[in-house]
């Protein structure tokens, strides 16, 4: 008799626990009895997600209380060709730090999401291939996944796909394709892409040179807050390229961006003061601006400042500081155009000018910038053999 009453009470607790979980909007509830009376662990489908947790029932059918804890995640069984969002959500679950972190599983689900046309899935897949997280690093696959994300109208991925086609990372260099990605990204709202279309039109990279059209793209990106583009508009006005020449307007734009920490604008303005291009020569002012550019990790700014130290322009001649400044510019790497600073550093190491001669180190620097495409570095490296 007593055993029957216990069994009946247990059944009541299980029924009440199930009903309570179902009231939370869950179905397909699977309960497992816990160690304490009225306590159950459960798994259920709740609003499209799989939830697991614990429910504890206290009291009776007439006066009961419930204590429910649960954690939920996407339902992996729903991931498929027609539901890229679920695949992406599952990928995120495995990508996050925590007990379920599994980078390889994250990549597998990002791949399924991308195959289903999910833009963010393609982007995260590209990041995984680029960094070698959860899968061997594969630049070609990273570039292809960013391209697919761009085609799915993820604007920021268009910038990455375009940059890689422009630089030849994971694919052969293809300036025209790069511009096509930048145009698509610009149309989708990425201001960096708009600036890059302008750069391509300005220099004729992958498209015919059209400087007036380039300024239009620079202006569009500048108005949206892109500092590179604002600096480019400033250069257009100081040079009178693509627009009517207006040096005061161009200088004002460059100074505004320099004051905001834009290294390239500081460098361009500093060179104008050094060379008296449309403004009175001011060598100390040029040094100050080039120092700001170098401090902002602008490689060419460091290079120009190094030359001024070496030649004693606007400050005492100091070959040691020149070498240190070339080194700073060379160390910028992918953050800016570091090749000229590296070239000058390598030449001085080769010749022992301002620094003890170090031919092996010079060869290493020449090799690096030669591989980056600077032909003069390749020629000078060849002459050292």
Whether the CB-CB separation of 158 and 193 falls below 8 Å is answered with: yes
Task: Describe the crossing of helices 175-187 and 155-167 by its angle, rounded to 10 degrees.
Answer: 170
Domain count, the chain: 2
In a domain, 147, yes or no: yes
Same domain, 82 and 182: yes
Same domain, 81 and 179: yes
List all residues 6 or more positions away from 31 whose beta carbon is below 8 Å from its beta carbon. 14, 17, 18, 40, 41, 42, 55
What are the tens digits of pLDDT across the range 249-289? 999 999 999 999 999 999 999 999 999 999 999 999 999 99
SS3 46: strand
Among candidate residues 74, 100, 120, the one where a domain is terminated: 74
CATH code for position 92: 1.25.40.10
In a domain, 259, yes or no: no
Among candidate residues 163, 189, 215, the one where a domain is terminated: 189
What are the tens digits of pLDDT across the range 87-100? 999 999 899 887 77
Q: Which domain holds residue 60?
A: 2-74
What mean pLDDT is predicted for residues 1-21? 68
- Cα separation, 72 vs 70, in Å, equals 7
Exposed, middle or buried by CB within 10 Å (0-12, 13-18, 19+), for 320? exposed
- Cα separation, 205 vs 265, in Å, equals 22
Helix (H) or strand (E) holding 57: strand 49-59
Same domain, 61 and 84: no
CATH code for position 52: 3.10.450
In a domain, 135, yes or no: yes
What are the tens digits of pLDDT across the range 191-207? 999 999 999 999 999 99
**Confidence tier at 5 by pLDDT (50, 70, 90):** very low
State yes or no: pLDDT of 330 exceeds 90. Answer: yes
In a domain, 226, yes or no: no
Same domain, 29 and 123: no
In a domain, 235, yes or no: no
What mean pLDDT is predicted for residues 55-69? 68
Same domain, 68 and 103: no
- Cα separation, 372 vs 203, in Å, equals 19
What are the tens digits of pLDDT across the range 106-163? 999 999 999 999 999 999 999 999 999 999 999 999 999 999 999 999 999 999 999 9
In a domain, 266, yes or no: no
- Cα separation, 237 vs 245, in Å, equals 5
SS3 308: helix
Same domain, 91 and 142: yes
- Cα separation, 323 vs 82, in Å, equals 59
Among candidate residues 47, 74, 101, the one where a domain is terminated: 74
State yes or no: pLDDT of 62 exceeds 80. Answer: no
C-alpha closest to that of 86 among 119, 115, 49: 49
Exposed, middle or buried by CB within 10 Å (0-12, 13-18, 19+), for 345? buried
In a domain, 34, yes or no: yes
Same domain, 59 and 158: no
């Amino acid at each position: 008799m007593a055993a029957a009453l216990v069994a009946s009470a247990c059944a009541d607790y299980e029924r009440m626990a199930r009903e309570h979980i179902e009231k939370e909007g869950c179905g397909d509830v699977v309960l497992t009895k816990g160690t304490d009376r009225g306590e159950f662990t459960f798994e259920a489908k709740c609003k499209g997600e799989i939830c697991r947790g614990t429910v504890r029932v206290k009291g009776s059918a007439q006066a009961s209380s419930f204590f429910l804890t649960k954690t939920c995640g996407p339902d992996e069984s729903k991931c498929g060709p027609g539901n890229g969002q679920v695949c992406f959500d599952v990928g995120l679950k495995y990508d996050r730090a925590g007990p379920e972190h599994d980078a390889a599983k994250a990549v597998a689900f990002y791949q399924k999401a991308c195959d289903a046309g999910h833009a963010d899935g393609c982007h995260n897949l590209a990041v995984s291939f680029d960094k070698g997280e959860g899968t061997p690093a594969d630049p070609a696959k990273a570039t292809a996944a960013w391209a697919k994300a761009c085609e799915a109208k993820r604007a920021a991925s268009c910038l990455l796909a375009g940059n890689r086609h422009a630089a030849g990372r994971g694919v052969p260099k293809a300036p025209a394709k790069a511009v096509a990605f930048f145009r698509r990204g610009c149309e989708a709202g990425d201001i960096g892409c708009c600036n890059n279309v302008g750069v391509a039109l300005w220099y004729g990279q992958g498209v015919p040179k059209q400087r007036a059209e380039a300024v239009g793209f620079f202006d569009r990106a500048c108005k949206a807050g892109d500092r590179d583009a604002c600096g480019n508009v400033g250069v257009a006005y100081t040079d009178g390229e693509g627009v009517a020449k207006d040096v005061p307007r161009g200088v004002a734009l460059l100074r505004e961006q320099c004051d905001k920490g834009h290294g390239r604008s500081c460098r361009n303005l500093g060179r104008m003061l050094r060379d008296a291009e449309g403004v009175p020569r001011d060598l100390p002012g040029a040094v100050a601006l080039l120092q700001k550019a170098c401090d902002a990790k602008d490689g060419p700014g460091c290079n120009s400042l190094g030359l001024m130290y070496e030649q004693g322009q606007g400050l005492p001649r100091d070959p040691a500081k020149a070498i240190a400044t070339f080194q700073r510019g060379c160390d910028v790497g992918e953050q800016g155009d570091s090749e000229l600073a590296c070239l000058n550093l390598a030449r001085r190491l080769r010749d022992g000018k301002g620094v003890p001669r170090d031919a092996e180190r010079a060869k290493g620097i020449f090799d690096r910038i030669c591989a980056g495409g600077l032909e003069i570095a390749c020629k000078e490296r060849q002459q050292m053999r």
